[in-house]
């Protein structure tokens, strides 16, 4: 019975993944999946980031649901044209879900324009576009269907009557807008809105390519850094997104301590915090921020009804971002770590 429950659980979640995007608990460390306008929105000229998420490994295999991604983006012409700049970026993400190896390879390029709103270059509004392709695939031979259940187990020798193809490829576009403000040397705010799958691509895996439009995903986000004399920091962040009938709200805060006596340097900030995904999980997190490196580790503690079929196991996540802090002399220097 436990085996049957696990199989049904996998099938249900696999179907959900087929209609919904991946998500990261440390969403603040995955800018290009959150908002194309955040491309190149950083303190330096280049950054490279790695995100990896693994969840529900207790169902049937160590990596039943895993999402590795890597991104790189660059800020061009910073300090020129009265503080305006251009951002270019690329994102590669591969999401794998379920024993049927439902996989989503997502390759996107993005461009953003950052317009300064004041003479001191402390406030910017950004507009971004994103485009690329997605390959979605599955291994039909590893799937079990209802008509293959014999009462005692599944028999994959029984014809499933499902005419599936191994993979499909479709184009994908998105756009976004964001605002970023440097309040003082030690504090800043950022918020914006991103929209993905605006072309509502057909992601059907049926041989006859039946219409199965992917819902567009809308994301509203906000984050901030509040520093107290460059010693103690608070990093609140929230994200609300919806995709078709599915909605998600994640919010919380982390508190950090800057281990430096020099008020003109970021030093090393160690932070701990807790976030919550509404009606689903509590997310404790710990990490560090330096002048050129940000890294965080989090774990989703499942609080919903999924806690029983997953044996209480949630999602482990790690994020690392390297930021090349090469600043133009024309830009105002700040001593503020950015979450």
Q: What is the DSSP letter of 36?
A: G
Q: What is the mean pLDDT of residues 20-25?
A: 86
d(CA 213, CA 201): 5
Does residue 144 contact residue 154 with C-beta atoms inside 8 Å?
yes
d(CA 235, CA 224) in angstroms, rounded, equals 6
Q: Read off the pLDDT band of 307 (50, 70, 90).
A: low
Nearest CA to 335 out of 255, 239, 258, 270 is that of: 258
Q: What is the pLDDT of residue 330?
A: 52
Measured distance CA(219)–CA(24) in Å, rounded: 13
Two tokens, residue 117: 């709103």
Residue with tokens 């001593």: 335
The pairing of strands 246-258 and 217-228 is: unpaired
**Residue 72: its pLDDT value, please?**
97
Which comes out higher in pLDDT, residue 81 or 189? Answer: 189
- Distance CA(35)–CA(196), nearest Å, equals 9
| Average pLDDT of the chain, as a whole number | 84
pLDDT in tens, 42-82: 878 899 999 999 886 655 555 568 899 999 999 988 766 67
Token pair, residue 313, equals 């196991």
Q: Determine whether domain 2-324 maps to CATH 2.40.160.40.
A: yes
Could you state, in order of their start, the residue ranges of all structural domains in the chain?
2-324
Instruction: State the Rg of the chain over Cα.
Output: 22
Which tens digits make up the pLDDT trace of 242-300? 999 999 999 999 999 999 877 777 789 999 999 999 988 999 999 999 989 999 999 99
CB-based contacts of 47: which residues, under 8 Å, 6+ apart? 72, 73, 321, 322, 323, 324
> Token pair for residue 77?
């012409």
Residue 148 DSSP symbol: G
Residue with tokens 């404790």: 284
- Average pLDDT on 175-184 reads 95
């Amino acid at each position: 019975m436990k085996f049957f429950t696990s199989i049904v659980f996998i099938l249900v979640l696999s179907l959900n993944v087929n209609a919904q995007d991946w998500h990261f608990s440390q969403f603040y460390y995955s800018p290009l999946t959150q908002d194309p306008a955040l491309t190149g929105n950083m303190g330096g000229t280049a950054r490279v980031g790695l995100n990896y998420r693994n969840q529900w490994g207790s169902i049937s295999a160590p990596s039943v649901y895993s999402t590795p991604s890597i991104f790189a983006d660059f800020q061009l012409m910073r300090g020129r044209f009265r503080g305006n700049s251009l951002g270019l970026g690329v994102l590669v993400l591969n999401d794998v879900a379920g024993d049927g190896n439902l996989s989503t390879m997502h390759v996107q390029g993005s461009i953003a324009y950052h317009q300064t709103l004041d003479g001191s270059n402390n406030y910017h509004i950004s507009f971004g576009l994103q485009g690329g392709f997605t390959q979605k695939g599955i291994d039909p031979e590893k799937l079990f269907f209802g008509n293959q259940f014999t009462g005692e187990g599944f028999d994959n020798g029984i014809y499933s009557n499902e005419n599936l193809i191994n993979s499909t490829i479709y184009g994908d576009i998105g756009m976004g807008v964001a605002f970023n403000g440097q309040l003082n040397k030690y504090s800043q705010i950022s918020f914006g809105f991103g929209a993905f799958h605006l072309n509502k691509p057909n992601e059907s895996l049926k041989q006859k390519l039946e219409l199965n439009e992917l819902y567009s995903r809308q994301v509203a986000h906000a984050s901030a850094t509040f520093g107290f004399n460059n010693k103690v920091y608070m990093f609140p962040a929230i994200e609300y997104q919806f995709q078709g009938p599915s909605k998600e709200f994640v919010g919380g805060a982390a508190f950090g301590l800057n281990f430096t006596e020099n008020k003109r340097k970021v030093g090393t900030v160690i932070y701990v915090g807790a976030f919550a995904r509404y009606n689903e999980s509590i997310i404790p997190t710990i990490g560090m921020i330096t002048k050129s490196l940000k890294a965080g580790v989090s774990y989703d503690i499942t609080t919903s009804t999924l806690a029983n079929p997953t044996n209480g196991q949630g999602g482990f996540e790690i994020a690392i971002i390297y930021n090349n802090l090469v600043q133009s002399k024309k830009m105002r220097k700040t001593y503020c770590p950015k979450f």
